[in-house]
Amino acid sequence: MSRRPEARPGPSAWRRLRHRPAAADRGTLFVTVLAVLLGFALATQLRANRGQPLEGLREDELVRVLDDVTQNGQRLNGELRDLERTP
């Protein structure tokens, strides 16, 4: 019984892999920008709280901080889902 040689991808297949769709590049760029902005916001918040650690906050202030972080996380997750649905 003769075996057929496995098909190897030609040069055109490699060319297609190199040139991804522009929408994926824009989505990746947008998610990267969001991550950088979130990192900047976190660094700014930490620098502002350096003189006042979380241990020194009252319970209602800690709840407010937690709510803010939760809302920002939900907002960013919603934006990420919207980006993933964008063609």
* pLDDT tens-place string over residues 1-27: 556 656 565 566 666 666 655 556 777
pLDDT band, very low/low/confident/very high, at 50 (cuts 50, 70, 90):
confident
* CA 35/CA 29 separation, integer angstroms: 10
In this prediction, residue 30 carries a pLDDT of 85
pLDDT band, very low/low/confident/very high, at 29 (cuts 50, 70, 90):
confident
In this prediction, residue 76 carries a pLDDT of 92
Which are the contacts of 72, defined by CB distance < 8 A and separation ≥ 6? 38, 41
- Using CA atoms, how far residue 24 sits from 20, 31, 63, 84, in Å, is 7, 11, 38, 9
**Tokens coding 8:** 């190897």
CB 84 within 8 A of CB 26: no
Question: For the chain, what percent of residues have pLDDT higher than 90?
Answer: 25
Mean pLDDT of 65-86: 90
